[in-house]
Amino acid sequence: MPGALRVVKLDPVGLATPDFCACCSAPAATSRAERLAARELVVPYCVRCLRHASAAGTRNLAAAVGSCLLAVTLALALPLAWPSAPFWAHFAVVVTGACLPLIPRAFRPRVEPGHTAAERAAWWVSEGELCCTNPRFAEALAAQSGGPVAEPTRRAKEPRFFAWLVAGPMVAAVGAPSGWMFHHPLVRVLNLTPGRITISIDGRKVAEIEPSSTENPTAGVELRLPTGDRLLSTVLADGEAVETRVTLRSGAAHLFAPNSADQCFWLEETGYGRQASRGTTVHALAGQGRFWVLPRKVDTWFAPNPPASGPDQRSSGGRLVALRQAPCARAPRGTAP
C-alpha cells in the first residue's frame, strides 16, 4: 500500500531491527544498510524486495555513467558532425545531451502489488528519523527502540537525486568548450592588400579585415574556424574574389594572408637560460595559397622574441617561438619561396 509513509524517531543509537521484510512483511532473508553521516541501520528485506531496494543505486550509477559518456562523446564528436555550429549552440547541445540519461530518474517507478516500496522501503530523513513505507515495520521498529511514530513531513520523500548525478552535466560544461576549441582551430588572418577584405568559409562570411602593411603584433584578426577541408573565399576591395582550398587541422594554429606574394613569413626559435647557447634558429614555413598550418605553438606573433641575455641566464630556461613577417627582399635567407 504505497503512500502510507511513517517516520520513526530512532534513539538511542544501538537497536535491533524487526525480523521481517521492511517492504512486504515477509520473513527477512537478507538485509541492506542505510547510512546517513554517522548513522547506520541494517534494514531487513526478503530476497524479492532486496532486488528493488538495490535497484535505486544501480539506476543512479547507470544514469551517471551514461551521462558522463554522452558528455565526453558529444563534446569531442559534435563539432565534426555539425562544423558550422556556433559555440553556444554546441555548448547547449552537449550539456542538454548529458542531462538526457538523468531524465528517467525524475519519474518514480510504480509500486508493484504486494509491496509498499518501488525502490527502498526505509531511508534516513535526518540523523534521528527514519522514514518507512511499511507502517507495520515502522510500528515494530518504534516498539523496539521506544521512539514515537509520526506522520511524514514533506521532506520525508525518498531522496532520489544524488550529488554525483550532476557529474555528467559538469563534465559537459567543462568539456564542451575544450572540444569546440580543439575542432575550431585558430586561424590568424592578415590583410596585406591596400583595401578592406571580406573572408568567407564555405560560403559563410566570417570577417571583414582592415589592411596592415608592416609587421605588427596586433595585425589581422584571430578566427576560430571548423576543422577539415574548407574553401576560404577572399573578396578584395575592388570586388575581385580569390578562392583558396585549405585543410584546417584540429588543435593547430594557422596563418592566412591572401594576396601577399611579396611578403615572407618564418618562425624564429630563441633559447633562454641553459638553452641560450643554442641561439636563435630560423625555420621556413611550408604552405600553399598563402595559407600555412604552423608546425609549432607560436608564443609571439609578428614581433621578435624577447632578448636572450638577461638576469635569468642561470635558470633552466626554455625556447620561445616567434612568427615573423617581412617583405621577401628583407627576409632571412632560406625563408623566401
Residues that bind Zn ion (CB under 5 A): 21, 23-24, 26, 46, 49, 115
Please state the three-class secondary structure of 137-206 as a single string: HHHHHHHHHCCCEECCCHHHCCCCCCHHHHHHHHHHHHHHHHHHHHHCCEEEECCCCCCCEEEEECCEEE
Beta carbon of residue 123, minimum distance to Zn ion (angstroms, whole number): 14
Q: How far is the C-alpha of 158 from the C-alpha of 108, rounded, in Å?
A: 10
Residue 118 or residue 156: which is nearer to Zn ion going by CB?
A: 118
Residue 289, C-alpha cell as written in the block: 595559397
- What's the CA gap between 105 and 127, in Å, rounded? 25
The minimum distance between CB 29 and Zn ion, in angstroms, equals: 9
User: What are the respective helix, strand and coil percentages of the chain, to the nearest 5?
Assistant: 30, 30, 40
C-beta closer to Zn ion: residue 21 or 43: 21
Amino acid (1-letter code) at residue 102: L
CB of 24 or CB of 165, closer to Zn ion = 24
Q: How far is the CB of 130 from Zn ion (least distance, A)?
A: 17
For residue 284, what is the enclosing H or E element?
strand 280-284
Closest distance to Zn ion from the beta carbon of 52 (Å): 6
- For residue 103, the number of C-alpha atoms closer than 13 Å in the C-beta half-sphere is 6
| Residue with smaller CB distance to Zn ion, 115 or 290 | 115
- Closer residue to Zn ion (CB): 41 or 68: 41
Of 108 and 205, the one with the shorter C-beta distance to Zn ion is 108
> How near is the Cβ of 30 to Zn ion at its closest, in Å?
10
Rounded least distance, CB 103 to Zn ion, Å: 25
The CA-based dihedral angle spanning residues 69, 72, 78, 79, taken in that order and rounded to the nearest 10 degrees: -170
